[in-house]
Amino acid sequence: MRILHVTDVYRPQVGGIEIFVDDLARQQAAAGHDVTVLTATQDREPAVAGSLTVVRASPARPGAFRLLPARQTVALGEYDVVHGHLSVLSPFSTVVAREAVTAGVPTLLTVHSMWGGRTAVVRAAGALAGWNQWPAVWTAVSEAAAVDMRRVIRTRPVVVVPNAVEVDWWRETGRGPITAARKDVTLISVMRLAGRKRPLALARMLRDVRRSVPQTIPLKAVIVGDGPLEGRLRSTIERFKMTDWVSMPGCLSRAAIRDRYRTADLYLAPAHRESFGIAALEARAAGLPVLAMRSGGVGEFIQDGVEGLLCDDDRGMARAVAHLVTQRGALAGMAARNTAFVPNLGWDVVLDRFSRAYALAADGQLANRSRRTSLAVPAAVFDNG
């Protein structure tokens, strides 16, 4: 199958969509598909390994992309499916998806964000693009995200296809068992240091945990990642006088993060509007208990009180951390459960679900097969096969 993934954001940027699209494309290529990624993200020194073709559209001006004849083009009619990836507002992916639908190419659109609280803006963008008239298949990364989408996409069903991780690879941490006899506890969180991930709120929670936990229990906390709030987060940690036990190693490779999990005891996910939570799933696959907000998609792979705890607010999360730190038996029980039972969110499951969704998209376009031969996008093409 020839698959074209379309995304406004892609590597070298690092975020949930960028990582997932890259992982999905590589997994599909490894399964024998011919996969191309078309993105609006520029990279002067692309370093895309493997058998992917990456096409980077050239902006006509900042924030705009000219779809005019050019020497290099993406021929939509040559693909079996166009798979667009959307956040809240993704103008490049929306424009290309509209061209694909018009050309009669089977089209699937995955929304990676939660639209709640922003449905008015999204509905206006959707009305302008004509989403409800498109014979496309829509997917959400979680049921929590799908609920918001169904308020906007009313003429088409929304199918849930979750994100995935390489479960077996993450389980190779070599972590020792968490026991009640151990005094020290290490907390860890992996995130982009941006507003919606709430790193500053996490710092306040850590301060509250340290205040409520006896000083006889040594605590360590590691916040992995970088982003626009990195400077403010470092300043906050200094102001709270937590530099002796809270560290910020920056953005780490997956292998380095897995190494960190070997000595960690509890994973914290403070975002309220987490559509899925790839980092939380990676921690869960590595055997760590996970604390997350009840309002997002993490609760679809973390059972409250079994693989972790789901919290209603910041105060509740701080109390939950303090409880597990002081009641080590509960923490050890969750860790043992996560080590023994594998989450059913590996790539074999997700690739199969997307294959079925692509088939639905093809069925929806059977009556609309008059294809244009190309979509002209000024681009630099990097074929690293």
Q: Domains, the chain, ranges and CATH?
A: 2-164+347-383 (3.40.50.2000), 168-340 (3.40.50.2000)
pLDDT tens digit string along 25-54?
A: 999 999 999 999 999 888 865 545 567 888
| H helix intervals, the chain | 16-30, 91-102, 119-129, 143-150, 167-170, 199-212, 230-239, 254-261, 278-285, 314-326, 328-340, 347-364
pLDDT tens digit string along 189-239?
A: 999 999 999 999 999 999 999 999 999 999 999 999 999 999 999 999 999
DSSP for residue 190: E
pLDDT tens digit string along 324-377?
A: 999 889 999 999 999 999 899 999 999 999 999 999 999 876 545 544 445 555
Which of helix, strand or coil describes residue 27? helix
65 neighbors 34 (Cβ within 8 angstroms) = no
pLDDT above 70 coverage of the chain, percent: 86
56's tokens = 């980077």
Record the pTM: 0.89
Residue 379 pLDDT greater than 80, yes or no? no
Q: What is the pLDDT of the chain when averaged over all its residues?
A: 88
Taking alpha carbons only, the member of 114, 106, 75 closest to residue 357 is 106
Alpha-carbon dihedral 113, 116, 121, 123, rounded to 10 degrees: 90
CA dist., res. 383 & res. 131, Å (int):
32
127's tokens = 């009305």
